[in-house]
Amino acid sequence: MTTELLARAQFAFTIAIHYLYPPLSIGLGLALVMMEGLWLKTGNPMFHSMARFWTRIFALTFAIGVATGIVMEFEFGTNWATYSRFVGDIFGSALAAEGIFAFFLESGFLALLLFGWNKVGPRMHFFATCMVAFGAHFSAVWIVVANSWMQTPAGYHLETVVNGKTVVLPQDYVVTTADLTSVRAVVDDFWAMVFNPSTMDRLTHVVLGAWMAGAFLVVSISAFYLLRNRHLDFAKASLKIGLGFAAVASLLQMVSADFTAKGVVRNQPIKLAALEGVYQTAPRTPMTLFGYVDAKNETVVGPKIPGLLSLLAWGSVDKPVVGLRDMPGAEFLKARHPGATPREFPALRKSYWPNVPAIFQFYHIMIIVGVALLGLVVVACFFWWRGWLFDTGRPRTRWLLTALVFSVLGPQIANQAGWFTAEMGRQPWIVYGLLQTSESISKVVSANQIVASLVLFALVYALLFAMFIFLLTRKIQHGPVEEEDEMPDSWKALIRTTPRA
Amino acid sequence: MTLPDLNIIWYLLVGVLFTGYAMLDGFDLGVGALQLFVRKDEHRRLFLNSIGPVWDGNEVWLVTGGGALFAAFPEAYATVFSGFYLAFMLLLCSLIFRAVAIEFRSKEEWTWWRQFWDVAFSAGSFVSALLIGVAMGNIVRGIPLDANHEFAGTFLGLLNPYALLMGITTVLLFSMHGAIYLAMKTEGELHAIVSGWIPRLIGAFLVSYLLFNIYTLVDVPWVLETVRARPHVLLVVAANVLIVLNIPREIHKGRPFNAFLSSCAAMALMMATFGLTYFPNMVLSNPEPAHSLTITNAASTDKTLGIMLVIAIIGVPLVLAYTASIYWVFRGKTSLTRHSY
């Protein structure tokens, strides 16, 4: 393997493992706000022990999220030094803002959330819970801003230094490998950088994915208790909250998915064609439901709905989605390869395509899982409406609850597949249309060093993941406990003798 | 604002962030390094819970310092982190291990389980402190850079005796700092044990620190030259010596909080001494000083430094406010409850 592939593999591995946890912190954080809000509103001590139980789960995911997240802050410099030099002026400020605005907020109030139950009053504690959830969302904002800038760069210009003087380069300047010691991207307009063309769509998509991760975790564990006939009051109330949350997030996610895909149509047409394996430009472009890409023959095998991709992309079945064989355009290739003749273009084009078979699969896995989760939630809500959901004597209810127990894997799979789609779909670029990934690696880091670190992280993360699953299982087995006897008086005063809920 | 001003402000702010990290996570790492020196489970739990509510926020100083370095001086960020690749990967793994050890350790009752995570916590803390010191030592001494500011040395070259001595000094400094913190947070038997360590740790740190300074004067010629050119640095050094000597005095008088403040101030003054002598370098090139990264050639544009300054002006007061409130809420002696680590 080349150094580039190793650097990518190492980064992908560390960030994929990391990304198991932050969505849970974001989604579960919001669920904690709902639960603790209900406790304050109703004075029902069950909501208090519910909030405390989910806080313990939250603490576990948060700790591992923090531990694995420190790595990410430094891996741009360790693995992608050339990239860091090239975009530091723009990319660094988003990371620094994340630290100052989001991480400090989160970690500071986390102390109150976890250890403040007997130290501060209930309203102050609720405020801390809100701030932790807010901080978690805020960190998503800044990191998605930074990543979206890599997908759709905006608000910058290129400049270089000639004889000690800074020279601004034209908008259409083509960066070559030889430029990389002197050319850099610098910020023109901070807000145009922050609100680049894909930020809002992608941020919504990522946050909803995180809500789904948190919501389905609550759903899953509650369904497990119902099936086992344990902690029934708690499980029913938790399941209602989780299911409501999951339904809202899953529905909104469908809308957001459409917006995100339309953004890819506008901003990254090559990526869009690759997602669906569209090679040939033709009207009534079909959408494949599932299948595989035969890259050699440049075709897709699988059931298709004619015209659906055209309809989703353009709102019209007749307008074709441009195929990979026509991209990138001749103008682009002429600018990048001044000596090349049009006969060489088809071969050159391929070097600007991502790995089509792989991202086709990731993209379709994400969609299939997302739709399946929505379907599951709809069925569960139907059962709830008919009053069957908690009737564990019914075989169909037991089937549904079993499916809900496993539903926790769904958002995790979809979130990971979605990120692989986004990031592999961006290849061969690290900054879309501007800088290639192969040019961005650290020049001084050898393949052996990356292998060593990859092995090290593989061992550490395998142990960590095993521990996480083990402790999570133990916490679930332990279950929620009545906390009333330990409550300080200021908290006990909130309990109502005839709870409203 | 004119160009050098912004660069100097960011040199200062990055320094403040890393100093904040040393003061705060310094005692976390110190507590970790000392963990295995107490035997009783209850004592070990008290150690963990003394830093329980704050360690996570303390590590954010490192993350934010890294982000600020990236944003303000991307060339320095890229050079240091790619150049120190393996050392940093080891540091990151150590930090991960000690972080999760805090969370995992007391979740199960089994002796082997607790022993394993105690060792992980302690070793992770020790190695983290050591590697931070080694990295710092190399930055002080200068590292080989080529004309494009790329690191031109080797991993083994980073483990030179000078940097290792700095590493050991850092471990001792953090351990002393951690022990003083523990003296504030503990009572009774454990307080007596911890208080017994402090004079020895102070002594060991002072010896190591003295050796390190002698080594610096002998081995790192630019330091002496710069101090001759900038004699005002000596004022900071003098203040530093006084404040370091104040630590045993405060301990002797039974005022661990004052000793802790002195220890924090000593760290700040050490960083100030370093910052004043090192200025305007960000990463010194040794043996080719012309290839050094400075606050001008490593920096982002004025526009970005200005934007970042706005971010800092809004953000830093907030950060200080919640850091102060958290320490206030969790002030006093640590006690164990059912929900403790």
Is the Cβ of B192 closer than 8 Å to some Cβ of chain A? Answer: no
Size (chain A), residues: 501
* pLDDT at A345 exceeding the cut of 90: no
Pairwise CB contact (< 8 Å): A88 & B68: no
DSSP states of A314-347 as a string? HS-SSSPBPPGGG-S-HHHHHHH-TT--GGGHHH
| Distance from the A113 Cα atom to the nearest Cα atom in chain B, whole angstroms | 10
Using a 10 angstrom Cβ sphere, with 0-12 exposed, 13-18 middle and 19 or more buried, the burial of residue B210 is exposed
Pairwise CB contact (< 8 Å): B71 & A93: yes
Question: Pairing mode, if any, of strands A435-436 and A299-301?
Answer: unpaired
Of A85, A100, A115, the CB nearest to B64: A100
The tens digit of pLDDT for each residue in B7-45 reads: 899 999 999 999 999 999 999 999 999 999 998 888 999
Cα separation, A473 vs A57, in Å, equals: 10
Pairwise CB contact (< 8 Å): B99 & A67: yes
pLDDT value at residue A191: 92
The tens digit of pLDDT for each residue in A93-151 reads: 888 888 888 888 888 899 889 888 878 888 889 999 999 999 999 999 999 999 999 99
Question: Which chain B residue shows the shortest CA-CA distance from A53?
Answer: B339
Pairwise CB contact (< 8 Å): A74 & B81: yes
The tens digit of pLDDT for each residue in B170-221 reads: 999 999 999 999 999 998 899 999 989 999 999 999 999 999 999 998 888 8
Is the Cβ of B319 closer than 8 Å to some Cβ of chain A? Answer: yes
Query: Position A358: which residue type?
Result: A
Question: Pairing mode, if any, of strands A304-305 and A429-431?
Answer: unpaired
Cα separation, A405 vs A57, in Å, equals: 16
Cα separation, B320 vs A271, in Å, equals: 44
Pairwise CB contact (< 8 Å): A95 & B152: no
| Distance from the A106 Cα atom to the nearest Cα atom in chain B, whole angstroms | 8
Cα separation, B16 vs B21, in Å, equals: 8
Mean pLDDT computed over B75-87:
91
Q: Judge whether A222 and A235 are in contact, CB under 8 Å.
A: yes
Is the Cβ of A453 closer than 8 Å to some Cβ of chain B? Answer: yes
pLDDT value at residue A256: 94
Considering the segment(s) B3-277+287-329 as one domain, its CATH architecture is Up-down Bundle (1.20)
* pLDDT at A490 exceeding the cut of 80: no
The tens digit of pLDDT for each residue in B312-333 reads: 999 889 888 888 888 888 888 8
Half-sphere exposure of B158 (CA within 13 A, CB side): 24
Q: What is the DSSP letter of A432?
A: T
Interface test with A, best of B45, B60, B330 (most A CBs within 10 A): B60
Give A120's contacts (C-beta < 8 A, 6+ positions apart).
Answer: A112, A128, B329
Of A214, A291, A166, give the one whose Cα is nearest residue A30.
A214
Q: What is the pTM of this model?
A: 0.91
What is the complex's ipTM, to 2 decimals?
0.86
List the Cα angle A47/A49/A55 in 5-degree steps.
100
Question: Mean pLDDT, chain A, as a whole number?
Answer: 90
Cα separation, B217 vs A182, in Å, equals: 37
- In A112-210 the beta strands, taken as DSSP E runs, fall at 156-162, 165-168, 184-187
The tens digit of pLDDT for each residue in A347-385 reads: 889 999 999 999 999 999 999 999 999 999 999 999 999
Report percent pLDDT > 70 for chain A.
98
Residues of B in contact with A491 (CB under 8 A): none
Is the Cβ of B232 closer than 8 Å to some Cβ of chain A? Answer: no
Cα separation, A501 vs B139, in Å, equals: 62
List the Cα angle B34/B321/B176 in 5-degree steps.
20
The tens digit of pLDDT for each residue in A468-478 reads: 999 999 889 88
Cα separation, B81 vs B87, in Å, equals: 9
pLDDT value at residue A498: 56
Q: Judge whether B140 and B212 are in contact, CB under 8 Å.
A: no
**Tokens, residue B256:** 């661990």
pLDDT band at B79 (very low <50, low <70, confident <90, very high): very high
Per DSSP, the three-state class of A19 is coil
Cα separation, A379 vs A407, in Å, equals: 13
Measure Cα distances from A453 to A446, A465, B59, B100, B295 in Å: 11, 18, 22, 19, 31
Q: Judge whether B125 and B29 are in contact, CB under 8 Å.
A: yes
Interface of A with B in 246-305 (CB under 8 A): none
Residues of A in contact with B326 (CB under 8 A): 108, 111-112
Cα separation, A132 vs A27, in Å, equals: 11
CA–chain centroid gap for B286, Å, is 24
* pLDDT at A501 exceeding the cut of 50: no
Interface of B with A in 60-119 (CB under 8 A): 60, 62-64, 66-75, 77-83, 85-86, 88-90, 92-93, 95-97, 99-100, 102-104, 107-108
Of A368, A373, A355, A370, give the one whose Cα is nearest residue A421.
A355
Q: Judge whether B102 and B341 are in contact, CB under 8 Å.
A: yes
CA–chain centroid gap for A288, Å, is 24
Residues of B in contact with A63 (CB under 8 A): 56, 99-100, 102-103
Mean pLDDT computed over A489-501:
67
Interface of A with B in 393-452 (CB under 8 A): 442-445, 449, 452
Query: Position A201: which residue type?
Result: D
- In A57-151 the beta strands, taken as DSSP E runs, fall at none
The tens digit of pLDDT for each residue in A378-436 reads: 999 999 999 888 888 889 999 999 999 999 999 999 999 999 999 999 999 999 988 99
Is the Cβ of A117 closer than 8 Å to some Cβ of chain B? Answer: yes
The tens digit of pLDDT for each residue in A432-469 reads: 988 999 888 888 888 888 999 999 999 999 999 998 99
The tens digit of pLDDT for each residue in B261-288 reads: 999 999 999 999 999 988 888 898 888 8
**Tokens, residue A4:** 């580039």
Measure Cα distances from A79 to A162, A447, B157 in Å: 28, 11, 20
Secondary structure tally for chain A: helices H, strands E: 18, 9
Secondary structure tally for chain B: helices H, strands E: 13, 2
Measure Cα distances from B289 to A443, A448, B146 in Å: 21, 29, 10
Q: Judge whether B165 and B212 are in contact, CB under 8 Å.
A: yes
* pLDDT at B1 exceeding the cut of 60: no
Of B95, B75, B35, B125, give the one whose Cα is nearest residue B295.
B75
Pairwise CB contact (< 8 Å): A104 & B318: yes
**Cis omega (within 30 of 0) for bond into A488:** no
pLDDT band at A1 (very low <50, low <70, confident <90, very high): low
Mean pLDDT computed over A180-193:
88
Pairwise CB contact (< 8 Å): B300 & A92: yes
Output phi, psi for A430, to 5 deg. -95, -40
Of B215, B144, B207, B149, give the one whose Cα is nearest residue B176.
B207
Measure Cα distances from B37 to A346, B18, B197 in Å: 68, 28, 10
| Distance from the A82 Cα atom to the nearest Cα atom in chain B, whole angstroms | 7
Residues of B in contact with A192 (CB under 8 A): none
